[in-house]
C-alpha cells in the first residue's frame, strides 16, 4: 500500500517589541507630564500661600495632633489603649490662627500669650504695613503730578508701625513761612495718602516738627503752637482724603524737640510732618496710657475730704 506524504508548512512570525507603534512610551510620558504638572502646582501653591499659612502647615507636620486643638473637631491628646489621655507638648500651630488671616490687622483676644502667636501677629503686621508702603510709593511713582514729592518723603517700618516723613524743602515747602496752611500741592499728596490709609483699621498719629529758628518775639505763639497747628492741618487733609476720624490717635506738635538733623538745628529738613500708622503694639500701649490716665483722675466725691471751715475765712 502506497503511503501519502503530508506537507508540513512552518510559518515564522517576526515579533517586534513595541517599536514606534508601541504604547509603553506613552505611559512613561504621561507619568512625566503628571509629575511636571504636580511640580508646578506645588510651586503655585507655595507662591500664593501667606507666611502665616506656611507656618501653620509646618506646625501640622511637627505636631499633627494640634490641628484640631481649638474647636476644629480634633483632639490635642494622644490616646493609649486604656483610653487615658496622655499630655503632649504643643509644638504645632492651630488652624484658628490661619482663619484670622482673613482680617490681617485684627488680632486675637489679649489673653492669648503664645510666643508663636505673638511672632506671627508681628509678621502679619509687617506684611500689611509693607503693603501700605508699596501702595503709597506706587501712587507717587505713577502720578507725574507728584514727581516733586519723591525727594520729600521717607518711609520706615519702625517698632511702632509705618512712619511716613514728609519733609519741608526750601524749593518746595509744604507751608509758607510761619503759616500753618498747607500749600495746594501738599494738600493733594495728603489727600492721596489719606485715601490709602483710610482702608485699614490701624490708628494713626500725626506729628508736626519745626527747625530751631525762633518764631515770633514772644511766647504767645511759638514753634510749639506752629508745629501743633501744622499737625492739625495735616490731620484735616488726611480726613478729607479718607482717613476716618476715629482712626486718629494723636495730633502732637513737637516744635524742634526731635530734629532730623541734630547737628544742624536750622536745617530745613527738620521742618516736617510725620504720619505714623500704628501697629497693634503701639495701639495697645496708647490704650494702656489712656486707661492709666483715667484711673489716676479726680477721685470720687466720697474720697475728697471736707474743707476745714476755718480755712474759708
Residue 307 belongs to a domain: no
Query: Is there a contact between 196 and 204 (Cβ–Cβ < 8 Å)?
Result: no
Run of H or E residues at 187? helix 184-197
Residues 64, 192, single domain; the answer is: no
Count of structural domains within the chain: 2
Residues 152, 287, single domain; the answer is: yes
CATH code (residue 140): 3.30.1330.60
Residues 63, 205, single domain; the answer is: no
Block means of pLDDT (10 residues each) for the chain, length 313 residues? Answer: 68 61 79 91 82 71 55 46 45 46 48 64 81 84 77 86 86 82 89 90 92 75 90 95 94 92 87 91 85 59 51 43
- Long-range CB contact pairs, 25-32, < 8 A, 24+: none
Residue 41 belongs to a domain: no
Residues 77, 220, single domain; the answer is: no
Query: Is there a contact between 136 and 155 (Cβ–Cβ < 8 Å)?
Result: yes
Q: Is 36 exposed, middle or buried (0-12, 13-18, 19+ CB in 10 A)?
A: exposed
Residues 69, 123, single domain; the answer is: no
Measured distance CA(228)–CA(254) in Å, rounded: 7
Residues 95, 124, single domain; the answer is: no
Specify the pairing of strand 272-278 against strand 204-209.
Answer: antiparallel
Closest C-alpha among 199, 162, 200 to residue 277: 162
Residues 217, 125, single domain; the answer is: yes
Residues 128, 231, single domain; the answer is: yes
Neighbours of 268 (CB within 10 A): 17
All cell numbers assigned to 129: 504695613
Measured distance CA(301)–CA(299) in Å, rounded: 6
- Long-range CB contact pairs, 146-151, < 8 A, 24+: 146/188, 146/189, 146/192, 148/172, 148/185, 149/189
Structural domain containing residue 182: 118-294
Residue 234 belongs to a domain: yes
Tell me the pTM.
0.56
Residue 7 belongs to a domain: no
Distance of CA 299 to the CA centre of its chain: 40
Instruction: Check residue 254 and give its pLDDT.
Output: 93
Residue 31 belongs to a domain: no
Residues 149, 279, single domain; the answer is: yes
Residues 95, 122, single domain; the answer is: no
Instruction: Check residue 91 and give its pLDDT.
Output: 42
Residue 200 belongs to a domain: yes
Residues 154, 204, single domain; the answer is: yes
Amino acid at each position: 500500500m502506497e503511503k501519502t506524504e503530508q506537507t508540513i508548512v512552518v510559518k515564522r512570525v517576526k515579533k517586534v517589541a513595541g517599536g514606534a507603534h508601541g504604547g509603553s512610551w506613552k505611559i512613561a510620558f504621561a507619568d512625566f507630564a503628571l509629575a511636571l504638572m504636580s511640580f508646578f502646582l506645588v510651586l503655585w501653591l507655595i507662591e500664593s500661600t501667606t507666611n502665616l499659612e506656611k507656618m501653620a502647615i509646618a506646625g501640622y507636620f511637627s505636631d499633627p495632633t494640634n490641628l484640631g486643638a481649638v474647636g476644629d473637631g480634633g483632639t490635642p491628646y494622644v490616646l493609649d489603649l486604656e483610653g487615658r489621655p496622655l499630655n503632649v507638648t504643643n509644638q504645632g500651630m492651630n488652624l484658628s490662627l490661619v482663619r484670622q488671616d482673613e482680617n490681617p490687622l485684627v488680632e486675637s483676644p489679649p489673653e492669648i500669650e503664645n510666643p508663636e502667636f505673638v511672632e506671627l501677629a508681628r509678621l502679619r503686621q509687617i506684611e500689611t504695613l509693607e503693603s501700605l508702603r508699596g501702595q503709597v510709593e506706587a501712587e507717587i511713582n505713577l502720578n507725574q503730578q507728584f514727581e516733586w514729592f519723591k525727594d520729600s518723603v521717607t518711609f520706615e517700618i519702625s517698632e511702632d508701625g509705618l512712619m511716613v516723613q514728609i519733609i519741608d524743602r526750601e524749593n518746595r515747602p509744604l507751608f509758607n513761612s510761619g503759616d500753618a496752611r498747607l500749600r495746594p500741592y501738599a494738600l493733594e499728596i495728603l489727600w492721596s495718602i489719606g485715601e490709602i490709609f483710610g482702608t485699614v483699621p490701624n490708628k494713626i498719629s500725626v506729628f508736626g516738627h519745626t527747625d530751631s529758628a525762633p518764631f515770633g518775639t514772644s511766647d504767645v505763639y511759638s514753634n510749639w503752637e506752629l508745629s501743633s497747628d501744622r499737625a492739625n492741618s495735616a490731620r484735616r487733609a488726611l480726613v478729607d482724603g479718607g482717613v476716618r476720624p476715629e482712626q486718629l490717635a494723636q495730633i502732637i506738635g513737637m516744635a524742634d524737640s526731635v530734629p532730623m538733623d541734630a547737628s544742624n538745628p536750622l536745617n530745613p529738613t527738620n521742618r516736617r510732618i510725620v504720619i505714623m500708622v500704628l501697629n497693634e503694639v503701639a495701639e495697645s500701649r496708647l490704650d494702656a496710657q489712656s486707661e492709666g490716665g483715667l484711673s489716676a483722675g479726680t477721685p470720687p466725691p466720697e474720697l475728697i475730704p471736707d474743707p476745714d471751715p476755718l480755712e474759708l475765712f
